[in-house]
């Protein structure tokens, strides 16, 4: 079987918009992005808001990204083992249960879920070679690619304007035709 690694935040949901929604709910201010929030709020204010977001229902009531359900179904139907790899602290604030319920409530299919801050190491240690990685963090993709090698499809879900800045590291890839319809929402935001 082929193996796919899928991130949750920024891939299966609309992070960081969910966190920005929480910040707006709590402060009445709509920040354009997390960088603006970090630059505007004090360090303590930002950390308190971020902690509140983690403990709130915002993360676990977010709608899935457009196309997420269809992509996962496509992978399942085409004999991929779907590994959800997340940096969420699943053992704090009952996040594991809440995350699994969010996946189930939104009919997002997967085979296994892992929590780790070192995704590259976990992938190497647990899975060996991977065939597909969908991740929103460029640094994580770079580390995974160093370990996993070139015979893999790497997809970064960050909007095109962001990729224009980092385009020298991660380019959108030409996907097989069968991916075009199911992944277009991830590739063109």
β-sheet bridge partners, residue 133: 5, 154
Check the CA dihedral 32-34-35-36 and report its sign.
positive
pLDDT in tens, 28-39: 999 999 899 999
Beta strand pairing call for 132-135 and 153-156: parallel
So what's the pLDDT on residue 81? 93
> Quick one: DSSP state of residue 42?
-
* CA distance linking residue 140 with residue 138, whole number of Å: 5
Picking from 1, 2, 3, the residue whose alpha carbon sits closest to that of residue 114 is 3
So what's the pLDDT on residue 47? 95
- Runs of H (alpha helix) within the chain: 17-27, 34-40, 43-55, 68-77, 95-105, 119-127, 138-148, 160-166, 177-187
So what's the pLDDT on residue 156? 63
So what's the pLDDT on residue 84? 92
Confidence (pTM): 0.76
Low-confidence ranges of the chain (pLDDT < 50): 159-189
So what's the pLDDT on residue 37? 94
**Long-range contacts of range 138-143, CB-CB < 8 Å, 24 or more positions apart?**
138/166, 138/169, 138/170, 140/7, 141/170, 142/169, 142/170, 143/119
Cis ω for the linkage preceding 130 (within 30 of 0): no
Question: Coil, strand or helix: which one is 86?
Answer: strand
> Quick one: which H or E segment has residue 82?
strand 80-86
So what's the pLDDT on residue 122? 78
CA dist 182 → 70, 115, 121, 159 (Å): 6, 26, 29, 17
């Amino acid at each position: 079987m082929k193996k796919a690694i899928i991130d949750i935040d920024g891939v299966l949901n609309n992070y960081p918009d969910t966190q920005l929604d929480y910040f707006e709910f709590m402060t009445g201010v709509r920040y354009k992005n997390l960088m603006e929030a970090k630059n505007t709020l004090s360090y303590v204010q930002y950390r308190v808001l971020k902690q509140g977001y983690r403990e709130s229902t915002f993360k676990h009531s977010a709608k899935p990204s457009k196309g997420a359900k269809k992509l996962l179904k496509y992978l399942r139907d085409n004999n991929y083992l779907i590994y959800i790899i997340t940096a969420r602290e699943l053992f704090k604030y009952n996040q594991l249960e809440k995350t699994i319920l969010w996946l189930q409530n939104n009919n997002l299919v997967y085979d296994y879920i892992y929590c780790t801050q070192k995704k590259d190491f976990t992938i190497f240690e647990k899975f060996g070679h991977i065939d597909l990685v969908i991740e929103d963090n460029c640094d994580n993709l770079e580390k995974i690619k160093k370990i996993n090698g070139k015979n893999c499809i790497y997809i970064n879900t960050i909007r095109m304007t962001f990729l224009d800045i980092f385009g020298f590291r991660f380019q959108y890839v030409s996907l097989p035709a069968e991916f075009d319809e199911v992944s277009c929402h991830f590739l063109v935001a």
